[in-house]
A and B are shown apart, each in its own frame.
Chain A
Amino acid sequence: MNLLKLLLLGAGIAALFIAPLGQGNYIIYTLSSWLLFSIAAMGLNLTVGYAGQVSLAQAAFMGIGAYITALMTLAGIHWALASLTSILGCFVVGLLLGYPALRVQHHFLAFVTLAFNTLIYLVLRNEEEITGGSFGLVGMPRPNFFGISTDSNLQFYYFSLACFLLAAGVMWWILRSPWGRAFKALRENPIRAESLGLKVRRQTLLAFAIGSAFGGFAGALQTPLVQFIEPHSFALLLSLKILLMVVVGGSGFFFGPMLGAAVVILLPEVLRFTEGYYLILYSLMVIVLMVYSPRGLMGLGYKLFDKFKPKQEARRDIEQGVQL
């Protein structure tokens, strides 16, 4: 079973390497944006799926990351340093925002982050001297690494893929570490976890801050990918979209966010022939999915798998009990 999983993982990574070959620019661009949204969704999955807190500010963190990276690279600083600053910045902001919000009842983080996202949007739009206001910032360079440029879309795709694999690796390591396993304990049974000596609040706060840092990293990637950023693309709607990715894919599953990001990014392309009706169809599908399988597509997959898997079954006559 383990070997099978390893083989599948290898095949998956190989597929990611050959996916863009021979494709048009637009498809490569879409794939790159799928990779970066997967990073953002992965971070949110840590907050939502493992720590059990709803955050509606992932877009704000992407925005903070994107603007920090844009301003620094426009000033001539290398992308690597800019992205590290973005990640660190988002981590700190996450701590500052989460500390008071997590002091109180469980659903309050959702409200605080909702307000925070709108505030960030207003600041980005109104502080024109720094952020360029609603016209945004343009002309951010794509980074160079030791003389290798990432200027073409294909090169940038491989660069995003490297970042994606790095982020996924870090996330895997976090979840496998004793510290990460504590999250699962928290999610499964918070009272028991606390009685075993876990600091619930500290754990949740760190999960939120790390999730936010992933958002910042995704933002740092978006700046060189799109090379144009404006406040509206980091509004509340995007946060809802990222939350949708996590939940549609399957919150609490490692591969859930990647699947969810693929659905949210690619489905509009597939449904394009329906023209104006695609959002209607799309939202209907989400409602039906949530009603039928609240654990998202991954949960749905497991449900179907369980249905077809041969399993031990008690004799039907015994199950019914003796009937006299």
Chain B
Amino acid sequence: MAELLQLIVSGLAAGSIYALAAVGFTLLWQASQTINFAQGEFVMLPAFFVLIGMTVLGLPLWPSVLFALILSLLILGVMFKKLVVEPMMPHGTLPLVIATIALGILMKESVKEFYGATAQPFPAIFPQSVYNLAGVSISVQDICNLIVSMLAIGGLQLFLSRTRTGRSMQATAQNPNVAEILGVNVKRMVLYTFLINAALATIASVLISPIYLAKFSNGETLGLVAFIAAIVGGFNQIRGALVGGLLIGVIDNLSAVYISAQYRMAMPLILLIAIILVRPQGLLGTSEGRTV
């Protein structure tokens, strides 16, 4: 029982970080129909910005995180939108899918060539201590990760539903044409979405890198997990991405211990296929209707 609880808590902690990536993924899809195959690399990269800030510029940890956030907003937010997504918007989904796949390879290989192919140690942000509560060992890091990502997603949800800008963003996601007629600056709202995605990726990166170390290939599994979490939860809902992320985190942990370590990766995939067959709009999603 203690083991089960322990697995669930650490699963939730990992899942909350997946949820950050999944929420960004969902936002991009809603705002610009971009299926971002580079999302995993988006989470991998900011950790290296932090490391560059610390080793090359000699900054302390927190200023480096700020430096990484600014760089991410510029590169993963503004440049990604202006140079890659915007010119391809009129041509449909497929060229954009290919371009994001290529972008993922570009980011991965660039880090490998220019920074290093080995896993880099990343400074811990939270204390590494482990507490024992009635036989259940709980790490402070896990709890803090969970709290920070929940705060980020909660804050985002509040921003989207309570502020004028947030509502305009939602309107843009639902129907850009009508939003434009009603006086919403659609282009700017889409840009905000890309900036939010970059910020979420930075938070996820800073949270996950102390656990997994910063490595150029981190994005491969992260991207896939974010992808699955977004679809399982519901492709058009932020809440859905959150639930999907947490669920995948827990299932991943439980199946590694109770089912088979070899088929650990398979459980989320089987869940994905089952969800698509039974409830294609996702657990919390609403049906988008057929195109034809």
The residues of A with any CB-CB pair to B shorter than 8 Å are 48, 54, 100-101, 103-108, 110-112, 114-116, 118-119, 122, 125-126, 190-191, 194, 200, 240, 243-244, 247-248, 251, 276-277, 279-280, 282-284, 286-287, 290-291, 294
Contact of A106 among B112, B272, B273, B291 (CB under 8 A): B291
Report the minimal beta-carbon distance from B45 to chain A, rounded to whole angstroms.
14
List residues of chain A with CB within 8 A of the CB of B103: 283, 287
Question: Contact: B276 with A112, CB < 8 Å?
Answer: yes
Contact of A115 among B105, B110, B269, B292 (CB under 8 A): B269
**A117 to chain B: closest residue by CB:** B269
Cβ-based interface call for B101 (8 A): yes
Question: Contact: A280 with B269, CB < 8 Å?
Answer: no
List residues of chain B with CB within 8 A of the CB of A116: 269, 273
Q: Which of B92, B98, B224, B280 has the most CB of A within 10 A?
A: B98
List residues of chain A with CB within 8 A of the CB of B228: 115
Chain B interface, DSSP helix/strand/loop, else mixed: helix
List residues of chain A with CB within 8 A of the CB of B276: 100-101, 104, 108, 111-112
Cβ-based interface call for B106 (8 A): yes
Cβ-based interface call for B178 (8 A): no
**A275 to chain B: closest residue by CB:** B113
Question: Contact: B263 with A126, CB < 8 Å?
Answer: yes
Cβ-based interface call for B164 (8 A): no
Q: Shortest 10 CB-CB distances between A and B: which pairs?
A: A294-B95, A104-B280, A294-B91, A286-B102, A283-B106, A115-B269, A283-B102, A290-B99, A279-B109, A283-B105
Known: A115-B273, A119-B269. A291 touches B292 (CB 8 A): no
Question: Contact: B270 with A119, CB < 8 Å?
Answer: yes
Question: Contact: A280 with B102, CB < 8 Å?
Answer: no
Report the minimal beta-carbon distance from B101 to chain A, rounded to whole angstroms.
5
Question: Contact: B292 with A191, CB < 8 Å?
Answer: yes
Contact of B113 among A105, A126, A191, A276 (CB under 8 A): A276
Q: Which of A101, A110, A291 has the most CB of B within 10 A?
A: A291
